[in-house]
Amino acid sequence: MKAIQVHQFGGPEVLALHEVAAPKPGPGQVLVRVRAAGVNPYDTYMRAGTYAIKPPLPYTPGSDAAGTVEAVGPGVARVKPGDRVYTAATLSGAYAELALAQEAQVHPLPEKISFAQGAGLWVPYGTAYTALHHHGAARAGETVLIHGASGGVGVAAAQLARAQGLTVLGTAGTPRGLELARREGAHQVFDHSKAGYTEEILKATGGKGVDVILEMLANVNLAADLKLLAPGGRVVVIGNRGEASINARELMSRRASIRGFTLWAATPAEAAEIHAALAAGLENGTLRPIVGKELPLAEAAQAHREVMSSGAYGKIVLVPGSA
C-alpha cells in the first residue's frame, strides 16, 4: 500500500509517498481503508520534531481518517468489514491507503456524512466540544468569542455553540473566512487582521464582555483577550505558537481564569461523551464538517504548507488514490 512517511524531522518536504507493507489487524484491532485523511496543524508540529510527542522514525502522520472497515482482528465486535467509520487517532497513521486502529479508536460514520467530512471530525470537533464544555464550562445563554472561527476547530465550535444556545461571536482574517464563520453559526463576525477589532467585539457585548473565549492563537491574543472578558469569564487556550505577556490584574478584577488542554489527554469518559455528542449532532444536522480543500495523498507537503497559511476555510483533507 502507499503511505506518506517521515524519515527525518523537518520541513514539509520530508513528507514523501512510499510503498510499504499493509498492516494486519491483531486482536482488538481494525484495519480501515482510508478514503480521506484530515490535515491538522499539530501534524506539522510533529513533522517538524517540535511537538510534545516525538514519534520514532519513520512514521506515518495523521490521526483523523474516514473510510470503510477492510478487516478486523480477533475479538472485535463493534464494527465489521464494509462499515463506514471515522478514526479518533490510529496506530499506524492516517496519511495512507490503509490505517490500523484499536477498536476503541473507530467510530461509525453516518451515511449522510461524506468520507472527506468524516476526516474532519475527531480533532476539530473533539477539540471544539471539549474546549467549550469540559474546559470552558459554557452554558446556554452565555456569550462565546471564537477567536479564529474560519478553520477546522473554529467552524466546529461555531456550529456546536450555536446549537447549544450561546451567543456566538467569531473572528477570521479574510472576507471568505468571515462569511463562513457567519454561515456556520456566528451571530456576529470580526476581522482579526484589522486594527481595533477587539473594541468592536467589546461594543457588540454592550461593554459587558464575553463569558468564554476559545483562543486559537494565544501568543498573539491572550493579553487582549483578558480585557474582553466578562466577570467570571474563561479563556480556553486551544492553540499557541509562542510566548505571551499578560497583566494578571485583568484576571483578578474579573475573577477570570485561563485554562488550557490538549485533546490527546482527554479521559476515556470525556472521549465517550464527545463521540456521543458528535453522533447526535451529525444525526440531527447541527454538525456539518466543512471541507475547504481536497488534495491527493501525494500532496501532503502542500497540505502542510497550506494548513499553516492564513486564509483558513474549514478543513484540508488528503485523498488516497486521487491523481
Number of residues that bind ligand NAP (CB under 6 A): 33
Specify the residue, 20 or 149, whose C-beta has the smaller distance to ligand NAP. 149
Site for ligand NAP contains 154 (CB under 6 A): yes
Q: Find the binder of ligand NAP among 51, 173, 246, 288 (CB under 6 A).
A: 173
Tell me how long the chain is: 323
- The burial of 132, by beta-carbon neighbours within 10 Å (0-12 exposed, 13-18 middle, 19 or more buried), is given as buried
Nearest distance, CB of residue 252 and ligand NAP, angstroms: 25
CA distance 243 to 239: 12
Q: Which amino acid is at 281?
A: G
SS3 8: coil
Angle formed by the axes of helices 152-163 and 268-284, nearest 10° = 70
- Measure the CA angle with vertex 114, ends 111 and 118; round to 5°: 100
Contacts with 44 (C-beta within 8 Å, 6 or more apart), sequence order? 12, 304, 307, 308
Binding mask 119-138 for ligand NAP (x = CB under 6 A): ----xx--x-----------
SS3 122: helix
Contact 212, 234 (CB under 8 A): yes
Q: Find the binder of ligand NAP among 61, 151, 233, 281 (CB under 6 A).
A: 151
Footprint on residues 69-108 left by ligand NAP (CB under 6 A): none
Footprint on residues 249-268 left by ligand NAP (CB under 6 A): 261-263
Q: Find the binder of ligand NAP among 150, 159, 167, 198 (CB under 6 A).
A: 150
Contact 313, 177 (CB under 8 A): yes
Nearest distance, CB of residue 115 and ligand NAP, angstroms: 19
Q: Find the binder of ligand NAP among 90, 92, 221, 271 (CB under 6 A).
A: 221
Contact 51, 41 (CB under 8 A): no
CA distance 172 to 100: 36
Site for ligand NAP contains 40 (CB under 6 A): yes
Specify the residue, 20 or 153, whose C-beta has the smaller distance to ligand NAP. 153
Nearest distance, CB of residue 19 and ligand NAP, angstroms: 30
Site for ligand NAP contains 239 (CB under 6 A): yes
Q: Find the binder of ligand NAP among 42, 86, 129, 190 (CB under 6 A).
A: 42
Grid coordinates standing for 281? 449532532
CB atoms within 10 A of CB 199: 13
| Span from 12-20, 144-152, 247-255, 271-279 in contact with ligand NAP (CB under 6 A) | 144-152
Site for ligand NAP contains 153 (CB under 6 A): yes
CA distance 40 to 5: 16
Q: Find the binder of ligand NAP among 3, 17, 214, 238 (CB under 6 A).
A: 238
| Span from 27-35, 106-114, 133-141, 146-154 in contact with ligand NAP (CB under 6 A) | 146-154
Q: Which residues bind ligand NAP (CB under 6 A)?
A: 40-42, 123-124, 127, 147-154, 171-174, 177, 192, 216-217, 220-221, 238-239, 261-263, 307, 310-312
